[in-house]
């Protein structure tokens, strides 16, 4: 879960976990899979991302005073089926950053808790396949007082966000296509300093955070035990400003990014409660972000909280 809250809440710069969790482990906020009523699926994912090149506005460069900026993330996530067509999901990441060169100190800490409600109001046959429509609403809020003002070493942007998403999924046999669009409203953040410059001087510690739109497309193979998919995603910041040449990045920069990646999930045949997930990807283009490559791996366990652990822990599209 969490996918995309992270995306912007983790410095794009550090696209890291964003992408990491974007794909299909057990049920996530980005996929088109629901947990059945009374089932809980919980797990942990480790992610690593790193970039050497980054964009100041549209100017692409490296920086010998940073070398490779890497981010490691351990995320605890879960998904519970309130009903067969209504799930609640959470994600809580612990993040650590590091620059391989230069003098800057890495930072670490628990970042933002995100919560999603995932609702499946429509699922019906169209042609030879099944079309499903999902509606999601999410919030994310910082759970520690980490600083958003030491980019690119900060572990996030510290804004409280609310988001709405529509997801469409079409399944034809074992093949599927999923697309989603998300609008995220980001609350203002507060810095520890008393003034800052964006394109003008602000005599306040409060920073207006531009809203964000995300698009996510994925397609591939989906069966009861294996999901393998290709993923393309885009994040566009609605406003914000460019990093000037040789300036430091700032929380309200116009952070845009397009990534491509792959993901898989494998559920054990003789222990169907247990699933392994992994994914990897690369940043194709960006603005005011690092060109990160990322990979992640995780394990999930699902069970019926009422104790009657029958088979079907998940019900695709029902």
Partner 1 sequence: MKNKFSISAIFFSGLIIIMVSCSKNIEGRTYNAPALTPANIDLEAGSWKTVLLTRPDTFLLPVPSAITLPGYIGELNEIKGLQLNLTGAQKENIKYWSAGAVLRWNEIMRELVAKHNLPPYQNEDGIYPIPTAANAFAYPQFPFSNPPYAARAYAYVAAAQYDALVAAWHYKKLYNRAAPYKVDSIINANALAVKTDLPSYPSEQAVLAGVTAEMMKMLFPTEIAFINQKVEELQLATMGSGACVRSDWTAGETLGRQIASLFAARGRTDNTSKAVGTQAQWDSLATATSGKGQIPWISLELPVRPPMLPFFGNVKPFLFDSLTVVNVLRPGPPPSTGSEQMKKETQEVYDIVQNPSSDKIAIIQLWADGVGTVTPPGHWNEIAAEDFVNQNYSEVRWARNFALLNMAEMDAAIVCWNTKFYYFNPRPGQLNPAIKTLTGTPNFPSFISGHSIFSATAATILGHIIPERANAYNAMAQEAALSRLYGGIHYRSDIEVGLDVGKNIGAYAVHRAITDGAE
Contact residues for partner 1, defined by CB under 8 A: 61, 64-65, 82-83, 86, 88, 101-106, 115, 117, 137, 139, 144-147, 149-150, 160, 162, 185, 187-188, 191-197, 200-204, 206-209, 244-248
CA distance 111 to 229: 28
Give whole-number Cα distances, 129 to 18, 31, 316, in Å: 31, 17, 13
Closest to partner 1 by CB, 22 or 186:
186
Largest CA distance in the chain: 62
Min CB(9)–partner 1 separation in Å: 14
Residue 206: other Cβ atoms inside 10 A: 11
Closest to partner 1 by CB, 82 or 230:
82
Min CB(129)–partner 1 separation in Å: 28
Closest to partner 1 by CB, 197 or 221:
197
Closest to partner 1 by CB, 175 or 197:
197
Closest to partner 1 by CB, 88 or 260:
88
Min CB(80)–partner 1 separation in Å: 10
Min CB(228)–partner 1 separation in Å: 33
Round the CA-based radius of gyration of the chain to a whole number and report it: 19
Beta bridge partners of 148: none
Min CB(288)–partner 1 separation in Å: 14
CA distance 299 to 275: 6
Residue 315: other Cβ atoms inside 10 A: 17
**120-138 as b/e: b if 16+ CB within 10 A:** beebeeeeebbebebebeb
């Amino acid at each position: 879960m969490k996918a995309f809250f992270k995306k912007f809440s983790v410095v794009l710069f550090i696209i890291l976990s964003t992408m990491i969790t974007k794909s299909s482990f057990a049920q996530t906020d980005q996929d088109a899979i629901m947990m059945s009523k009374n089932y809980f699926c919980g797990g942990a994912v480790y992610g690593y991302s790193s970039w050497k090149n980054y964009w100041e506005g549209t100017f692409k460069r490296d920086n010998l005073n940073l070398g490779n900026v890497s981010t490691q993330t351990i995320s605890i996530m879960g998904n519970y089926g309130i009903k067969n067509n209504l799930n609640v999901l959470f994600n809580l990441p612990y993040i650590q950053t590091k620059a391989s060169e230069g003098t800057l100190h890495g930072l670490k800490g628990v970042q933002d808790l995100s919560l999603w409600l995932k609702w499946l109001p429509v699922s019906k046959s169209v042609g030879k396949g099944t079309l499903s429509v999902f509606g999601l609403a999410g919030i994310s809020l910082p759970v520690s007082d980490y600083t958003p003002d030491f980019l690119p070493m900060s572990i996030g942007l510290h804004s409280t966000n609310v988001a709405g998403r529509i997801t469409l999924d079409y399944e034809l046999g074992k093949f599927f296509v999923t697309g989603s669009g998300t609008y995220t409203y980001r609350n203002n953040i507060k810095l520890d300093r008393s003034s800052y410059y964006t394109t003008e001087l602000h005599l306040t510690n409060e920073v207006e955070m531009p809203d964000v739109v995300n698009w996510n497309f994925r397609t591939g193979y989906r069966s009861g035990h294996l999901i393998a998919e290709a993923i393309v995603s885009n994040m566009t910041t609605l406003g914000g400003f460019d990093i000037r040449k040789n300036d430091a990045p700032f929380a309200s920069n116009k952070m845009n990014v397009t990534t491509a990646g792959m993901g898989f999930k494998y559920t054990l045949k003789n222990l169907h409660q247990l699933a392994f997930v992994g994914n990897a990807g690369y940043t194709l283009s960006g603005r005011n972000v690092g060109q990160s490559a990322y990979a992640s791996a995780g394990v999930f366990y699902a069970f019926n909280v009422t104790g009657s652990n029958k088979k079907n822990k998940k019900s695709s599209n029902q």
